[in-house]
Amino acid sequence: MKVTGIAAIGKNRQLGLNGKLPWKNDSELAHFKSTTKNGILIMGRKTFDSIKNPLYGRKSIVISKNLSGGDKNHFYVNSLENALVLARFIKNVDQNVFVIGGSNVFKQALPHISELIISEVEYDGDADTLFPSFEKEYECVEMKVCNRPSKEDRFTVRKYCKKM
Ligand SMILES: NC(=O)c1ccc[n+]([C@@H]2O[C@H](COP(=O)([O-])OP(=O)(O)OC[C@H]3O[C@@H](n4cnc5c(N)ncnc54)[C@H](OP(=O)(O)O)[C@@H]3O)[C@@H](O)[C@H]2O)c1
């Protein structure tokens, strides 16, 4: 099963601040939504809290030590390993599996992630969660600059593959 990591980061790998994204970038969010459409999303409980509701048209697998249950589009599991087992079990042939964060979940999942889709946004400020360092294990294979009239809406997407 191919596992893709997808994240938006600032200039210094910033991911989050006070349980939210540190920036507002609607174009990048639209890119996230279209890329993950119909997919299976694996995330930490705090990331799920920040999204508030399962994203429409996707299945969410939420990792938590304390929570269990869920419904047909949203499941709780108690480890990354169980998240991957469940994703393999529920996955249809046309569904992609994405790890969407946060910080510690990315760190745990990197050994399983063959492809990273990283948006770099125009943000240079504070953060309390960072994307882990990944550049040694991955090489950039594609880059797309998404230029927008407003600076806040600009971002650059880089696709990385794990080095052989
Ligand atoms: N920029 C981006 O692309 C992006 C993406 C995602 C998130 N974010 C931001 O990042 C922040 C949230 O990320 P975070 O790193 O603080 O938290 P997180 O990884 O989303 O969630 C951490 C929680 O996940 C559960 N968890 C993680 N690993 C586990 C394991 N091995 N076994 C059992 N449970 C496990 C625990 O939940 P319990 O406490 O319930 O046990 C833990 O407290 C927010 O600010 C969010 O907006 C940004």
Q: What average pLDDT does range 68-93 have in this prediction?
A: 93
Strands 59-63 and 40-44: parallel
Pocket of ligand 1 (CB under 6 A): 7-8, 15-16, 19-21, 43-47, 50, 63-67, 78-80, 100-105, 108, 129
Measured between alpha carbons, how far is 115 from 3 in angstroms, rounded to an integer?
A: 7
Residue nearest (by alpha carbon) to ligand 1 atom 25: 64
* pLDDT at position 148: 82
End-to-end CA distance of the chain: 17
Distance 148 CA to ligand 1 centre (A): 30
Q: What is the pTM of this model?
A: 0.97
Domains of the chain are 3-162 (3.40.430.10)
pLDDT tier for residue 139 given thresholds of 50, 70 and 90 = very high
Can you give the length of the chain in residues? 164
Q: pLDDT band for position 53 (50/70/90)?
A: confident
- CB atoms under 10 Å from CB of 77, counted, come to 20
pLDDT at 77 (0 to 100)? 96
From residue 83, alpha-carbon distances to 38, 63, 77, 117, 123 in Å are 17, 7, 6, 20, 31
Residues 24-41: tens digit of each pLDDT: 999 999 999 999 999 999
Closest atom, ligand 1, to C-alpha of 9: 1
Count CB atoms within 10 A of the CB of residue 63.
Answer: 26
- For residue 155, pLDDT beyond 90: yes
| pLDDT at position 42 over 90 | yes
Per-residue confidence (pLDDT) for residue 78, from 0 to 100: 96
